[in-house]
């Protein structure tokens, strides 16, 4: 069975190209008072000068232009989005509805605490649930996403170690890590030491033990790791790091595989971040903004960003009386709207529901793995949790690469999975289905992947020239990178 | 796969050609192929000294940014500035116009640890099977 995408194939010009002098998207009623030139009554510093070249279009042109563009989008409400390591799960409409309730949506962040008790309670309750889910002691909801949360966590570790005598010099990071991990460590003033993976796709514990020293501030670990594989030696790993006085930062990007089943606080993790826009169903990608709460053990709590949301008797309040805090990392209280959605998600799923979500996410990934392993090379035979990585090794023999497979999937109506990541797998195709798809939808995706593997054998050109049915066919990525055109000019 | 006989090769897929105490370094035919079309080359400052296996620069393709490592120790005496405008030379002529840096050898015995053309070809073959 094949599916093809349907796109609105009008070649829509830029809004600037539709412009003609004098067109306007609004009309004002006739003045019923005397028309006075504005320059006569206002000081020149209050006067605006006309913006040159601003597009002039009618209302209907404006509406059609952007509506047409919107139909070219691929989005989570339209179809499957199997981007590995991104947890592109469906964003339930209930979240959106609740976050738009006027008493929530229209609250001003500078409103008095007493007048914002409801909003403060939302923040507080979300913090409590995140603590419960991770077995941790304290939370900050301020960071606006994963990378900012990593930097926040590493700065907290730095502050903690500095207090103990020395910030230390190095951060250990597995070679399968997200690129943001080393970037965050370097930004926080550390040098990175890369730890290789073993033949099973897990962190090489022997090398870790060799590299661990009293000059190492922390290990940054993703669990399950970027291969979708659970670090089964996590207790031993924690022991090795803690013995030398180091800490463990966990990148919680893959928490969707663990929720309700395993708690980082019980694995010896000192601090981690969660991505509300991944695990907790708030919009992701262009639909953001993101939110990356940092959750930590008691010994790191004094260094959390402030103000922190705390409960005092019956009242909730912002507390900035944390002298050792690393300070603010976001204006006001982070992306509050995301906290509302995440709390709504947690409450609507409930305790059993959250567990079931992790189960379904893991089951879906393993279902894809099992049905596709005949057709695509599996670089690691270790069982996976919520995502699975294939490579283009078999298709390579016919001159077909991961990029071609990804482009061909567009013709079948699917957003391609993550490609060429993690870097340690050559030609990686990283698929994360999440729990958001029915078996029928998963089968349609799998069937498309199988059909593509047959095409790679029989008619490789179909892949190397794909996509054929999309609005734009194969883009010249090399030219785009070498000589980008960054703005429209008349 | 092309790997000229008069060059030495590293496990990180750099080649080096010695001319007295000066040597030229670039990435191999195999490396450029794996990277895909190079869109940017980040070159070191002339005068910088690097240790063996230290990253001296990076090449960016549409797929990824990869660091380029010193096959030997030494001081950079010249960089191929034409790569800034034409990074595709690394793809088109990796052993010629696509050279990346020239160095003054820090320790000529470093060269002894590198592979010959034959050894390198075998290494690449084994690596791609592994």
Amino acid A2: pLDDT? 52
Pull the structure tokens for residue A309. Answer: 């949301």
Whether B6 is in a domain gets the answer no
Using a CB-CB cut-off of 8 Å, the residues of chain A touching B63 are 403, 420
Q: In terms of residues, how long is chain A?
A: 490
Residue A252 C-alpha, separation from nearest chain B C-alpha, in angstroms = 24
Whether B80 is in a domain gets the answer yes
Pull the structure tokens for residue A405. Answer: 């497979």
Q: What is the domain range of residue B106?
A: 14-121
Q: Per residue in A422-453, pLDDT tens?
A: 888 989 999 999 999 999 999 999 999 999 99
Q: Per residue in A306-332, pLDDT tens?
A: 999 999 999 999 999 999 999 999 999
CA distance linking residue B96 with residue B100, whole number of Å? 10
- What is the band of B127 on the pLDDT scale with cuts at 50, 70, 90? confident
CA distance linking residue A274 with residue A421, whole number of Å? 21
CA distance linking residue B114 with residue A380, whole number of Å? 30
Total domains, chain B: 1
Whether B1 is in a domain gets the answer no
CA distance linking residue A27 with residue B98, whole number of Å? 61
Whether B7 is in a domain gets the answer no
**Full set of structural domains in chain A with CATH:** 6-70 (no CATH), 93-348 (3.40.640.10), 353-481 (3.90.1150.10)
Q: Mean pLDDT, to the nearest integer, of A234-240?
A: 97
CB A338 within 8 A of CB A123: no
Q: Does A199 touch chain B (CB under 8 A)?
A: no
Using a CB-CB cut-off of 8 Å, the residues of chain B touching A397 are none
The complex's ipTM works out to 0.70
> Does residue A233 surpass a pLDDT of 60?
yes
Whether B107 is in a domain gets the answer yes
Q: Mean pLDDT, to the nearest integer, of A187-215?
A: 96
> Does residue A9 surpass a pLDDT of 70?
no
Q: In angstroms, what is the C-alpha Rg of chain B?
A: 14
| Element (DSSP H or E) covering residue A355 | helix A336-372
Whether B87 is in a domain gets the answer yes
Find the DSSP H helices in A42-111: 59-71, 93-99, 102-105
Residue B77 C-alpha, separation from nearest chain A C-alpha, in angstroms = 27
Q: Per residue in B103-126, pLDDT tens?
A: 999 999 999 999 999 999 999 998
Question: How many percent of chain B have pLDDT more than 70?
Answer: 98
CA distance linking residue A146 with residue A144, whole number of Å? 7
- What is the band of A464 on the pLDDT scale with cuts at 50, 70, 90? very high
Of the partner residues A423, A426, A477, the one whose CB lies closest to the CB of residue B62 = A477
| Element (DSSP H or E) covering residue A207 | helix A205-211
Give phi and psi for A415, each to the nearest 5: -70, 135
Find the DSSP H helices in B17-93: 29-35, 82-85, 89-92
Using a CB-CB cut-off of 8 Å, the residues of chain B touching A420 are 63-64
Q: Does A475 touch chain B (CB under 8 A)?
A: no
Q: Mean pLDDT, to the nearest integer, of A452-477?
A: 93
Pull the structure tokens for residue A40. Answer: 């006569």
- What distances in angstroms separate CA A446 from CA A77, A80, A137, A364, one per listed residue? 19, 11, 42, 11
Q: How many CB atoms within 10 Å of residue A249?
A: 30
Amino acid A11: pLDDT? 77
Amino acid A479: pLDDT? 86
Q: Does A476 touch chain B (CB under 8 A)?
A: no
Q: Which residues of B touch A (CB under 8 A)?
A: 34, 37, 39-40, 60, 62-64, 87-88
Find the DSSP H helices in A232-302: 234-243
Q: Mean pLDDT, to the nearest integer, of A106-115?
A: 93
Amino acid A1: pLDDT? 45
Buried residues in A441-478 as b, exposed as e (16+ CB within 10 A): ebebbbebbebbbebbeeebebbbebbeebeeeeeeeb
Of the partner residues A423, A426, A481, the one whose CB lies closest to the CB of residue B62 = A481
CATH of the domain at B23: 2.40.50.100
Using a CB-CB cut-off of 8 Å, the residues of chain A touching B40 are 481
Interface test with A, best of B12, B32, B34, B37 (most A CBs within 10 A): B37
Global pTM value: 0.86
CA distance linking residue B73 with residue B114, whole number of Å? 12
CB B14 within 8 A of CB B60: no
- What is the band of B130 on the pLDDT scale with cuts at 50, 70, 90? low
Strands annotated E in A43-179 = 138-140, 170-174
Q: How many CB atoms within 10 Å of residue A241?
A: 23
> Does residue A192 surpass a pLDDT of 60?
yes
Interface test with B, best of A191, A481, A483 (most B CBs within 10 A): A481
Smallest CA–CA distance from B64 into chain A, residue: A420
CB pairs under 8 A between A and B: 17
Q: Per residue in A380-410, pLDDT tens?
A: 989 899 999 999 999 999 999 999 999 999 9
CA distance linking residue A420 with residue A84, whole number of Å? 11
Tell me if B40 and A481 make a contact (CB, 8 A cut-off).
Answer: yes
CA distance linking residue A69 with residue A62, whole number of Å? 11
Interface test with B, best of A186, A422, A423, A478 (most B CBs within 10 A): A478
Residue A396 C-alpha, separation from nearest chain B C-alpha, in angstroms = 11
CA distance linking residue A399 with residue A369, whole number of Å? 23
> Does residue A94 surpass a pLDDT of 50?
yes
Concatenated DSSP letters for A407-455?
Answer: HHHHHTT----EES-STTSTTEEEE---S-S-HHHHHHHHHHHHHHHHH
Whether B5 is in a domain gets the answer no
Q: In angstroms, what is the C-alpha Rg of chain A?
A: 26
Q: CA end-to-end span of chain B, whole Å?
A: 17
Residue A478 C-alpha, separation from nearest chain B C-alpha, in angstroms = 6
CA distance linking residue A441 with residue B36, whole number of Å? 34
CA distance linking residue A335 with residue A122, whole number of Å? 13
Pull the structure tokens for residue A416. Answer: 């391609």
Amino acid A144: pLDDT? 96
Residue A486 C-alpha, separation from nearest chain B C-alpha, in angstroms = 16
Q: Per residue in A328-379, pLDDT tens?
A: 999 999 999 999 999 999 999 999 999 999 999 999 999 999 999 999 999 9
CA distance linking residue A137 with residue A271, whole number of Å? 10
Q: Per residue in B65-106, pLDDT tens?
A: 889 999 999 999 999 999 999 999 999 999 999 999 999 999
Whether B2 is in a domain gets the answer no
Smallest CA–CA distance from A483 into chain B, residue: B39
Amino acid A3: pLDDT? 53
Q: What is the mean pLDDT of chain A?
A: 93
Residue A195 C-alpha, separation from nearest chain B C-alpha, in angstroms = 16
Pull the structure tokens for residue A52. Answer: 């040159």
CB A248 within 8 A of CB A219: yes
């Amino acid at each position: 069975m094949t599916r093809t995408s349907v796109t609105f194939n009008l070649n829509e010009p830029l809004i600037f190209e539709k412009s003609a002098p004098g067109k306007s998207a609004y009309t004002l009623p006739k003045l019923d008072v005397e028309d006075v030139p504005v320059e006569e009554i206002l000081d020149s510093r209050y006067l605006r000068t006309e913006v040159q070249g601003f597009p002039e279009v009618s209302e209907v042109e404006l509406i059609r232009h952007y509506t047409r563009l919107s139909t070219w989008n691929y989005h989570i409400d339209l179809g499957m989005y199997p981007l590995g390591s991104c947890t592109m799960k469906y964003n339930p409409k209930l979240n959106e509805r609740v976050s738009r309730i006027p008493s929530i949506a229209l609250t001003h962040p500078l409103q008095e605490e007493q007048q914002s008790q409801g909003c403060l309670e939302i923040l507080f309750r979300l913090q409590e649930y995140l603590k419960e889910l991770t077995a941790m002691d304290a939370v900050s909801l301020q960071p606006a996403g994963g990378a900012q949360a990593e930097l926040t966590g590493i700065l907290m570790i730095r502050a903690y170690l500095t207090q103990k005598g020395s910030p230390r010099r190095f951060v250990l990071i597995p070679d399968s890590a997200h690129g943001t991990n080393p970037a965050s460590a370097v930004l926080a003033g550390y040098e990175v030491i890369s730890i290789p993976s073993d033949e099973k796709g897990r962190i090489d514990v022997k090398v870790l033990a060799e590299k661990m020293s009293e000059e190492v501030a922390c290990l940054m670990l993703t669990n399950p790791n970027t291969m979708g594989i659970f670090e089964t030696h996590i207790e031993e790993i924690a022991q090795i790091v803690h013995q030398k006085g180091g800490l463990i930062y966990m990148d919680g990007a893959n928490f969707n595989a663990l929720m309700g089943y395993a708690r980082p606080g019980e694995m010896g993790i000192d601090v981690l971040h969660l991505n509300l826009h991944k695990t907790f169903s708030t919009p992701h990608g262009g639909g953001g903004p993101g939110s990356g709460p940092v959750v930590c053990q008691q010994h790191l709590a004094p260094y959390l960003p402030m103000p922190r949301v705390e409960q005092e008797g019956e009242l909730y309040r912002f507390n900035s009386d944390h002298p050792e805090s690393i300070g603010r990392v976001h204006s006001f209280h982070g992306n509050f709207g995301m906290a509302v959605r995440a709390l709504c998600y947690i409450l609507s799923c409930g305790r059993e529901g959250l567990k079931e979500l992790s189960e379904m996410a893991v089951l879906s990934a393993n279902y894809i793995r099992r049905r596709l392993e005949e057709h695509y090379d599996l670089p690691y035979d270790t069982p996976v949790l919520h995502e699975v990585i294939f490579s283009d090794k078999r298709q390579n023999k016919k001159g077909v690469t991961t990029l071609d497979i990804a482009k061909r999937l567009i013709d079948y109506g699917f957003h391609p999975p993550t490609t060429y990541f993690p870097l340690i797998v050559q030609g990686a195709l990283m698929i994360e289905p999440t729990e958001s798809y029915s078996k029928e939808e998963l089968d349609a995706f799998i069937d498309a992947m199988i059909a593509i593997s047959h095409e790679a054998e029989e008619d490789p050109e179909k892949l190397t020239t794909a996509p054929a049915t999309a609005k734009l066919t194969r883009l010249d990525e090399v030219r785009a990178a070498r000589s980008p055109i960054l703005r429209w000019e008349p | 796969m092309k790997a000229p006989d008069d060059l030495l090769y590293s496990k990180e897929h750099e080649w080096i050609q010695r001319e007295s105490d000066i040597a030229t370094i670039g990435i191999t035919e195999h490396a450029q192929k794996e990277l895909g079309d190079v869109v940017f080359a980040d070159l070191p400052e002339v005068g910088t000294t690097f240790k063996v296996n230290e990253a001296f620069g990076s090449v960016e393709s549409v797929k990824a940014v990869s660091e380029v490592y010193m096959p030997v120790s030494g001081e950079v005496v010249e960089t191929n500035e034409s790569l800034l405008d034409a990074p595709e030379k690394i793809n088109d002529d990796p052993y010629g116009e696509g050279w990346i840096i020239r160095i003054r050898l820090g320790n000529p015995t470093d060269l002894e640890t590198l592979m010959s053309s034959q050894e390198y070809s075998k290494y690449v073959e084994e690596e791609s099977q592994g």
